[in-house]
Amino acid sequence: MAGPKTIHWDLEPHTRAKHEILRGYLNGWFPVMSRYNNRIFFFDGFAGPGRYKNGEAGSPIIALTTLLDHAHFSRMKCDFLFMFCEHDSKRFTSLEVEVKKLKEARAPWPSNVKVQLVNKEFEASASDIITEMQRLKKQLVPTFAFVDPFGVSGLPITVIKDLLASPRCELFVNYMVDSVNRFAGAGNIDHHLKDLFGTERYKEAAALQGQPRQQFLHNLYEEQLKSVCEFSFVQSFAMINTYGHIGYYLFYGTRDIKGLELMKDSMWKIDPGGDYRFSDRLVGQTVLFIEDGVDARPLQQALRTEFAGKAVPIQQLEDFTITRTPYKKSHLRRFALTPLERENAIQVRRPGRSQFPPGTVVIFPA
């Protein structure tokens, strides 16, 4: 477990799962964004020492190797900018060593991959970028910000808002709800909580207990990411500790439905049940999930309810599935529309012979 004076710590199961979500998402984000932009930016606000106690890669090494090892990297012609921020001097020194080792192992280092290490707090580093953008009167290039703190301090939502104001910027943040739950209403860290939420509404949690209290604090942060930071789409993923409690949520914020699609795909790989949660308690148990086991009846019912009496283009159904349900886009055709058509519960107008090609219109009875 990491602490304020720890340099290296054990890689816990929930952290490994978090890194798998990150790796899975970046594996899709890098080629998509590099196709349409000359420059993209990966910003790690709490980078750590680069490696864990037993040598496992930390988030900076994961981000770099995901790009370098990508099957299509040689065809990605844009500039990739990486900034890794770590305020602790000893951890920062370790991070420098690990990045140097990677560069030496991958020599000659690609000229379009640029790495900057910053020995500062996240808030200070982000504020420097914001100040420079304002001075130049420019927007930030397409950015994926990975913000993974140990607690609730140093994470003002107004800084996130100003840093990621450009339409093509995205956030992946560790929201330590267990700490928030413990201190909300206690009064001793109110200044940090007000910065975190950008409001004092967290104090309303004092009147709640148990699951309703935690759900309120989850929903409040989601609401603030949408209203303050103006993220059109927000998706959370719960991390459950060995005691069976939710220690933190990973929140992803984006303004692009394609980004949401990629992130949901990555999260489903960690939790194929579609509950968007990972539990340390299940690690080591033999639990097998198969796509054929997806229960899409709730998706079928949601579609029939939402679109009753309407003729709906397939694209609209895809967008609804991605943004309004827990399901992935790939579940729509196979697990929802195909069974509904087989049962004569819908009618389908196709422009060709394939099952549900672009241009398909699905007719739902009233």
Q: State residue 235's pLDDT score.
A: 96
Condensed to tens digits (0 to 9), the pLDDT of residues 6-29 reads 788 899 999 999 999 999 999 999
Mean per-residue pLDDT over the chain, rounded? 92
- Alpha-carbon torsion, ordered 186, 188, 189, 191, to 10 deg: 110
Residue 159 predicted with pLDDT over 60: yes
Task: Work out the average pLDDT over 213-225.
Answer: 96
pLDDT band at 286 (very low <50, low <70, confident <90, very high): very low
What is residue 18's three-state secondary structure?
A: helix
DSSP letter string, 295-335: --HHHHHHHHHHTTT-EEEHHHHHHHHHHHSSS-HHHIIII
- pLDDT at residue number 284: 45
Poorest-pLDDT segment among 67-76, 179-188, 290-299: 290-299
Residue 293: predicted pLDDT: 65
Whole-number Å distance between alpha carbons of 265 and 24: 8
pLDDT at 61: 98
Structure tokens at 219: 């929903």
Q: How far apart are CA 162 and CA 175, in angstroms?
A: 18
pLDDT of 205 strictly over 60: yes
For residues 249-262, average pLDDT: 97
Whether the predicted model's global pTM rises above the 0.75 cut? yes
Higher per-residue confidence, 135 vs 6 = 135
Is the pLDDT score of 76 beyond 70? yes
Distance of CA 83 to the CA centre of its chain: 18
Report percent pLDDT > 70 for the chain.
95
Is the pLDDT assigned to residue 184 strictly greater than 50? yes
- Band (188; pLDDT cuts 50, 70, 90): confident
Packed helices 257-270 and 13-36: angle between N→C axes, nearest 10 degrees: 150
pLDDT tens string 38-74: 999 999 999 999 999 999 999 999 999 999 999 999 9
DSSP H or E segment with residue 22 = helix 13-36
